[in-house]
Amino acid sequence: MNVRSRTGCLACKKRKRRCGEEKPACRNCVVRGFECPYLSENSQLINLRFKISLAHGYRLPLKKQNRRHFISVSAEDVALLSSEHNQEIVPAEKDDTRTKNLNGHALNPVRLDVSVFASPLVDCSGLEHQLFQYYLQVISRVRVFRDDSRNKFRSLVVPFCCGRRPLLYAVLSVSANDRRAETVPTHVNYEQLALSYKSLALKSLRKSLSDVSNASEALMTCLILCTLEIASGCQPDWVRHAKGAFAIINSCSSMIDPEILFFARSYFQSRTVFFRTTGCHDDLHDKDAERLLEPQTGIDHGMDFFSQCTTLGINYADERTEIQPHFGCSLSLLDIIARATDLVSQKQKLRRNGCNSFFSEGEMMQRAMSLRSELDLLPKEHSLDSEYLTTCGECFRMAADLFLQLACDIPLTQPALQTLLGKLLDHIGKVIREDQERQLFPMWPIFLAGCLSTTDEDRGRVLNYFTYLAHAWPVSNIPIVREATETVWKFRDLNPHECGSGFDWQMIISRMNWKLALS
């Protein structure tokens, strides 16, 4: 018989179960992934909650709910998306709540006890120690598909965090930004704190750029600030940080640590490639119009880094076919996606300008088929020590296959394409599940699957995945990606006669001026 204890945790009391009263979290809550608050934790509220949040990365389970989704089409949607209205699409300016009321409001005073975690920082407050440990234990773990001792978000960041330097401020800003969604009562205004540290990071970064010996730290600072803007809902500044990182790489590559150079370049290149698949590629990549018909024989996407490995004294030849844990697929697969994106961009530009011909269409079709053959010859995405990473790699591979089918002008309703889409959704369902712990996920395959979904059943599955993700990632770019996907659906439903092209979603996202970071 279950006997309720008087001093048990609130979660067990609510479920009317006997509590083992283990501290800081009872066994019942640890096994089920529940938060385990006690009534007697008043004096240590902040530190205890912080310790629990780092235990296993659990969050409150998603309540059972009706899985019916309704997407309402408002009068504004009709005015913006329907072709019967000749209005130009002008996206409404969105309020950035992070910057409101910042001036004239000081941070709320807070007194914290000594952090329960050891910290390598010196001359830092107790709160800064907690934020830094939060980065090490939570942020760095969920920035990769596989967390191990080789996690670059830890090994390449910690050495630069001694002293008041730009990378430390960027790390503290990322941690504060992530914790602003916490429901635990606290006197800390994490939203304003994140903005303050971001401002300090940018000021310190500008000063450090005058010395080329700081190039490695400056590059990693751009990377961390880029993750901050992406997590804040795809703020357009993430594109600016990516541009700054490429400028540092192009001008100071000889002064940058080879490991940092490889990691940062592959990180930014993957974000750039996925961004360009949305059709909004002019900001990060621009080609001369006269080269539209020239075949892309080499890797022209900043991934020619491997050709420089011999001069740098390093060997990354094996890295091309391995799944990279910081973006979920191999560099060889990323190269195919990049070249397919170039092909689609050239084809659409020729058609818009009326310059396409039977010869050019045939040549581009041949290039698309060649890329599909190259994709088929790639080794299967596989990770020996992580089934999760292997499944994510398979999702990227199937998404790349779907993208190439669209490049071959295969219609969305084609049975083979719909069959592959169903397999992709099944694989996504293996890595995105209800009540799972917070973990990096394949955003680009989910977005692409949503854009290619034409039936209510497929759309419902995509919306379920977005719902699960939004619960596990309360501070992220998931809401804006979901909004973009739903906008594509609304456009197609309002304009069924204009949905002949499989890349209509690129036009919609480009006209709405979204800067989607699909990571």
Longest CA span, the chain: 81
- Tokens 């974000």 map to which residue? 271
Domain ranges of the chain: 7-38, 123-277
> Which neighbouring-strand residues pair with 323?
330
pLDDT of residue 450: 94
279: left (phi over 0), alpha (psi -120 to 50) or beta: left
382: left (phi over 0), alpha (psi -120 to 50) or beta: beta
pLDDT of residue 79: 64
Nearest C-alpha neighbor of 333 from the set 322, 325, 344, 343 = 322
Q: At what angle do helices 443-452 and 456-472 cross, to 10 degrees?
A: 150
pLDDT of residue 83: 60
pLDDT of residue 432: 92
pLDDT of residue 288: 32
Look at the domain 7-38 and name its fold: CD2-Gal4 (4.10.240)
Q: Which residues of 188-214 are buried (b: 16+ CB within 10 A; e: fewer)?
A: bbbbbbbbbbbebbbebbeebbeeeeb
C-alpha torsion sign, points 138, 139, 144, 149: negative
DSSP 8-class letter at 144 = S
**What gap in Å lies between CA 85 and CA 2, rounded to an integer?**
65
The answer to whether the beta carbons of residues 349 and 290 sit under 8 Å apart is: no
Mention every residue, 6+ apart, whose C-beta is less than 8 A from residue 196.
107, 173
pLDDT of residue 112: 32
The answer to whether the beta carbons of residues 44 and 16 sit under 8 Å apart is: no
pLDDT of residue 161: 85
C-beta neighbour count of 162 within 10 angstroms: 13
Mention every residue, 6+ apart, whose C-beta is less than 8 A from residue 74.
none
Residue 330 main-chain phi, psi, to 5 deg: -80, 160
**What gap in Å lies between CA 486 and CA 23, rounded to an integer?**
44
Mean pLDDT by 10 residues, the chain (519 residues): 67 84 85 76 39 40 50 65 53 42 36 40 79 92 89 91 87 93 81 93 93 92 94 84 92 91 93 88 42 34 39 51 88 93 87 77 88 90 82 94 91 90 95 86 94 92 93 88 92 77 82 84
Residue 323 main-chain phi, psi, to 5 deg: -70, 125
Concatenate the DSSP letters of all residues of 189-245 into one string: -HHHHHHHHHHHHHHHHHHHTTSGGGHHHHHHHHHHHHHHHHHTT--THHHHHHHHH
The rounded Cα 377 to chain-centroid distance in angstroms is: 28
Residue 436 main-chain phi, psi, to 5 deg: -80, 160
